[in-house]
Amino acid sequence: MKTIHVSTTVNGDAAEFICGPDESLLDVLRNRLGLTGAKEGCGTGDCGACSVMLDGRLVCSCLVLGAEAEGVTVDTIEGLAEGDHLHPLQQSFIDHAALQCGVCTPGILVAAKALLDRNPDPTETEVRYWLAGNLCRCTGYDKIIHAVMDAAKTMRAA
Amino acid sequence: MALDNTGQRVFKVVGTRPPRPDGVDKVTGRALYGADMSAPGMLVAHILRSPHAHAEIVSIDTSAAEALQGVKAVVTAADFTPQEDEYLDDILVNCLARDKVLYDGHAVAAVAATSADVAKAALKLIKVEYRKLPHVTDVDAAMRPDAPIVQSGRSLETVPEGMSENVTSHCEFGHGDLEAGFAKADLIIERSFTTAATHQGYIEPHACLATMGADGKGDLWCCTQGQYNVRSICADLLGIEASQLRVTASEIGGGFGGKTTVFIEPVALALSRKSGRPVKIVMSRSEVFLATGPTVSSSTDVKIGMTKDGRITAGQAHLRYSGGAFPCGTVDMGAQAAFAAYDLEAVQTLGWNALTNRPKEAAYRAPGAPQAIYAVESVVDELCQQLGLDPLEVRLKNAARKGTKSSYGPTFDDIGLMATLEAAKAHPHYSAPLGENQGRGLSAGFWFNFGGNTCVTLNVNTDGTVGITEGNPDIGGSRAAISQMAAEELGIPYDKIRTIVADTSSLGHNDVTDGSRVTFSVGLATIKAARDAISKMCSRAAQIWGIDEEAVVWEDGAACPAGPNAGKFPPMTLAEIAAVSFNTGGPIAGHYEFNADGAGVSFGVHLVDVEVDRETGGTKVLRYTVFQDAGKAVHPSYVEGQMQGGAVQGIGWALNEEYIYGEDGRLQNPGFLDYRIPVASDLPKIDTVILEIPNPGHPYGVRGVGETPIVPPLAALSNAVSRAIGKRLHSLPMSPPRILKALSEA
Ligand code: FES
Ligand code: FES
């Protein structure tokens, strides 16, 4: 099969890769760029574990083609912290015990950041609906919602 | 030396909420799960699965697949030696079908190739000739004498004559005179219930990376709840020695019991052995639904008698479970758990397991208990409704307590059911007003909890820090709890300790992370390993001071001289003793190994308010409160997390989740779109109330907490819905179509 050469920006750095025309962005990130933070929970857009930002939009990377990254920016969980300085959402998830197994956590953090970027003061209901596409089987969501609300508060105060 | 002073002990670290040691890894994407590992020269394998519910495999021709460019190995059942041990052989046949395919999705062959595309293309070239056989997926149908036989010759002698050969086992528990008990009742209610099979629904699909050379040495990386169990099963199935196979547990993305066995691991090892290359297998979500551990499906009859003032006079349950296409012992646990919350004079439970053309059951959080307790708690609730009694008062009146002879045999020691019920009664939730189409439900729940084989090593580093090596994958914060218990015992700060989960070559055997055993058993072993290290540190201090070992005690993280003849020496801290350890006899370590007993049973009570939409049949959970006895909550946040997560899994089971089979015996909803687990917007806050009734079997009073919380939601929701719509449903899930049907029959 003919491969495609793609030039893109991942977490602020220029990146290049070759991929198949039917290869998902998730597979490219995980298998070609070594960024295994985004997880495949379903491969069909139903779990949100693969959430990344594509050109500032929250997407399920399992539903995006690697080729679509050409010329745009991709932001993943690996780019959320600045060096050894955790993002307030990351710190809040640790402080609130908002993860058990943690496999949903990268996707939920990316999605939660996308929410707070557009709505710094969401209601609990807004958080619950925004994260409705991110499945977590361990926590019952309670501590996740708290952690997001609390991080939003911290970020508003900063 | 530290003492077992349960009840009076003032804890410094236990009971606090420090950040978990693996937190940063898991919020930055750095933590490595099953599918995140790769190796140089790695091949990718895919698995061919049965399109039929039940068929004979007439022939398999893999030659065209093998000839495809890039294919490096193909395996089928023919590459494995059948096992004499039935338990092992069932696992093997489940990994790769031998003569028959037993369910839709049953694995038939596997291909390892240089890329996923090549492996998938090769699967299409494998020619399997099937002869379709009649199938059965319903447990009641499977028990009838004329049912299609799933596997013959698998019935135990305990099964009464005249039943289908599909019935593999029968069990019976109870005590007292049932007839006399029912004769004393003012009201007897007898009802039948069914529950659908559900899946554990862990977000991480099964994944592994296997390397095996021509020298017979193997390495396996996989997501599992028990690396030692994986090692012993794989070593047996591949005919190698356990010492030659090292299994490393990756971080695990949820298990809930479903990752306590193997599916792809022996296949990956066999492919690696054949190809001489590392082989990775990652299941797709549909493979996870089709071929890994759902729960049993169940059909249960319950009969309970009650006096007008709410005393239960007798209880009886007949439980029919199906654990899929292989014999399954889960019904035994259901039959034991069914009436565990009650102090009864007369009780009897009978259970049967029947084979069906469904995937092999795997444990799911308190396996067998939710289905049984759902049926019992539903009938108790209906008795309360008909007799006009308060359901909480009735449970208090009949609750099992210390000294109760349990319905499954043992007499209870200190248990927390009464305290849990009292807490529910006193909680504002219980008396809050309800609106139209709303109902409140409650249910008690129970789980045995297990201990099991455990071993822990604790190394004291020369800089005064401590490393703990344990052997149970951390499924929800156990590294934090273990570090806390070590810090408590040693008297050093939590952040001076690092706990790691060992591979199978680095530590002795540890049973699987199951039975809510880890915080209890590994915690206990950690405390004992710490005491072992403390006694060594005391002896080093005695040596330095030139006094008797017996004249040294351990207080607040330091050795201190004690007693009239000890002399006056300033205390030596752990760090000070560690710093000079190379001059006083060498490195200092503590170790403990045992088969833990005394896990201490666990009870919980759940309260739920729902509102039913009469037009759509949808049920909205408005308020939810979990009350549970944790013995001692080591890290309360993770205890709450278990209570909340279990409750929500139970809510999913009660309202939505089910394996749906078509007429053709094929699974119709193998994906998260059609098998709908609860999402954040479905749920309210899940409130938690932790009770602490110390477990006499643990120095800090710890009980397992992980499984009990999935037990009560099924009946609690059903009872709430029945009160909201004035009509009782007898089947789970109470999906909108079922509720609409019940309403239209009203
Ligand atoms: S893996 Fe992309 S949504 Fe589940
Ligand atoms: S923490 Fe396990 S799936 Fe969310």
Cα–Cα distance, B457 to A90 (Å, whole number): 32
The pLDDT value given to residue B746: 63
Residue with tokens 């991480």: B204
Range of the domain at B486: 4-31+451-596
The pLDDT value given to residue B4: 47
User: What does DSSP say about strands A4-10 and B552-555: parallel, antiparallel, or unpaired?
Assistant: unpaired
CA distances from B261 to A138, B48, B292, B519, B702 (A): 20, 20, 10, 21, 27
We report the CATH number of the domain holding residue B367 as 3.30.365.10
The pLDDT value given to residue B552: 96
* B494 and B366 co-located in one domain: no
Could you give the number of structural domains in chain B?
Answer: 3
In sequence order, what are the residues at sequence separation of 6 or more whose Cβ sits closer than 8 angstroms to the Cβ of residue B194? Answer: B297, B298, B299, B300, B730, B731, B732
* B620 and B475 co-located in one domain: no
Is the model's pLDDT at B376 over the cut of 90?
Answer: yes
Is the model's pLDDT at B5 over the cut of 60?
Answer: no
**Does A46 sit within 8 Å of B673, measured CB to CB?**
yes
Nearest-CA distance from A70 to chain B in Å?
A: 23
Q: Which residues of B560-582 are buried (b: 16+ CB within 10 A; e: fewer)?
A: bbeeeebeebebbbbbbbbeebe
B253 belongs to a structural domain: yes
End-to-end CA distance of chain B: 68
The two structure tokens encoding residue B174:
């109870």
CB B288 within 8 A of CB B59: no
The pLDDT value given to residue B3: 40
The two structure tokens encoding residue B330:
């889960």
Q: Where in chain A is the domain with CATH 1.10.150.120?
A: 88-157
* Angle formed at CA B619 by CA B617 and CA B621, multiple of 5 degrees: 170
A interface mutation test: which of B26, B203, B672 has the most A CBs within 10 A? B203
What is residue B109's three-state secondary structure?
Answer: strand
Summarize pLDDT for B429-463 with one digit per residue, the tens.
Answer: 999 999 999 999 999 999 999 999 999 999 999 99
A77 closest CB neighbour out of B29, B202, B679: B29
Cα–Cα distance, B95 to B82 (Å, whole number): 12
* B224 and B83 co-located in one domain: yes
Cα–Cα distance, B161 to B332 (Å, whole number): 19
Query: In ligand 1, which atom is closest to the CA atom of A43?
Result: 1
**Mean pLDDT computed over B77-100:** 98
Is the model's pLDDT at B309 over the cut of 50?
Answer: yes
- Residue A62 near ligand 1, beta carbon < 6 Å: yes
* B517 and B387 co-located in one domain: no
* B547 and B683 co-located in one domain: no
Using the Cα atoms of residue A106, residue A110, residue A111 and residue A112 in order, give the sign of their dihedral: positive
B410 belongs to a structural domain: yes
What is residue B644's three-state secondary structure?
Answer: helix
User: What does DSSP say about strands B43-49 and B279-282: parallel, antiparallel, or unpaired?
Assistant: parallel
* Angle formed at CA B173 by CA B167 and CA B177, multiple of 5 degrees: 125
* Of B20, B203, B478, B640, best ligand 2 pocket probe by most atoms within 8 Å of the beta carbon: B203
Query: Which residue's C-alpha comes closest to atom 4 of ligand 2?
Result: A136
pLDDT band at B6 (very low <50, low <70, confident <90, very high): very low
* B47 and B27 co-located in one domain: no
Work out the number of other CB atoms within 10 angstroms of the CB of residue B528: 20
Summarize pLDDT for B205-235 with one digit per residue, the tens.
Answer: 999 999 998 888 999 999 999 999 999 999 9
* B342 and B418 co-located in one domain: yes
* B511 and B636 co-located in one domain: no
**Mean pLDDT computed over A60-87:** 97
| CATH of A88-157 among 3.30.56.10, 3.90.1150.10, 1.10.150.120, 3.60.10.10 | 1.10.150.120
* B632 and B512 co-located in one domain: no
Q: Which CATH superfamily is domain A4-79 in?
A: Beta-grasp domain (3.10.20.30)
What is residue B429's three-state secondary structure?
Answer: helix
We report the CATH number of the domain holding residue B265 as 3.90.1170.50
* B274 and B405 co-located in one domain: no
B182 belongs to a structural domain: no
Which residues in chain A touch residue B640, judged by CB atoms under 8 angstroms apart?
Answer: 97, 142-143
Is the model's pLDDT at B288 over the cut of 60?
Answer: yes
The pLDDT value given to residue A29: 98
Give the helix ranges, DSSP H, for B338-416. Answer: 369-387, 391-398
CB B485 within 8 A of CB B700: yes
What is residue A1's three-state secondary structure?
Answer: coil
pLDDT-wise least confident of B62-66, B531-535, B562-566, B734-738:
B562-566
Q: Is the ipTM of this complex over 0.90?
A: yes
**Does A106 sit within 8 Å of B29, measured CB to CB?**
yes
Is the model's pLDDT at B565 over the cut of 80?
Answer: no
What's the order of all strands across the beta sheet hosting B127-132? B100-101, B55-61, B127-132
- Mean pLDDT, chain B, integer: 96
Is the model's pLDDT at B8 over the cut of 80?
Answer: no
**Does B282 sit within 8 Å of A132, measured CB to CB?**
no
B727 belongs to a structural domain: yes
B161 belongs to a structural domain: no
Contacts with A, B 174-203, CB within 8 Å: 200-203
Residue with tokens 């043992």: B410
The two structure tokens encoding residue B605:
């009570």
B641 closest CB neighbour out of A81, A131, A139: A139
Summarize pLDDT for B138-194 with one digit per residue, the tens.
Answer: 999 999 999 999 999 999 888 888 899 999 999 999 999 999 999 999 999 999 999
- The residue of chain A with its CA nearest to that of B687 is A142
| Domain end (from B220, B250, B282) | B282
Is the model's pLDDT at B2 over the cut of 50?
Answer: no
Which secondary structure element, helix H or strand E, spans residue B142, and what is its range?
A: helix B139-143
The two structure tokens encoding residue B20:
């978990």
Is the model's pLDDT at A53 over the cut of 80?
Answer: yes
The pLDDT value given to residue B213: 87
Cα–Cα distance, B524 to B472 (Å, whole number): 13
The pLDDT value given to residue B214: 84
The pLDDT value given to residue A81: 98
What is residue B466's three-state secondary structure?
Answer: strand
pLDDT band at B1 (very low <50, low <70, confident <90, very high): very low
Q: What share of chain A is helix, strand, coil (3-state, %, to 5)?
A: 40, 20, 40
Going by C-alpha positions, the residue among B374, B389, B520 that lies closest to residue B456 is B520
* B617 and B588 co-located in one domain: no
B120 belongs to a structural domain: yes
pLDDT band at A1 (very low <50, low <70, confident <90, very high): low
End-to-end CA distance of chain A: 51
- What secondary structure does DSSP assign to B74-92, as a single string? EEEGGGSPPPSSHHHHHHH
A142 closest CB neighbour out of B23, B200, B686: B686
B116 belongs to a structural domain: yes
Q: Where in chain A is the domain with CATH 3.10.20.30?
A: 4-79
Q: Up-side HSE of residue B481: CA atoms within 13 Å toward CB?
A: 31
A131 closest CB neighbour out of B24, B36, B680: B680
Contacts with A, B 281-300, CB within 8 Å: 282, 284-285
* B591 and B624 co-located in one domain: no
**Mean pLDDT computed over B576-598:** 97
**Does B253 sit within 8 Å of A39, measured CB to CB?**
yes
The pLDDT value given to residue B398: 98
The pLDDT value given to residue B536: 98
What is residue B54's three-state secondary structure?
Answer: coil
- Residue A133 near ligand 1, beta carbon < 6 Å: no
| Domain end (from B575, B596, B617) | B596
In sequence order, what are the residues at sequence separation of 6 or more whose Cβ sits closer than 8 angstroms to the Cβ of residue B179? Answer: none
- Mean pLDDT, chain A, integer: 97
Using the Cα atoms of residue B521, residue B527, residue B528 and residue B529 in order, give the sign of their dihedral: positive
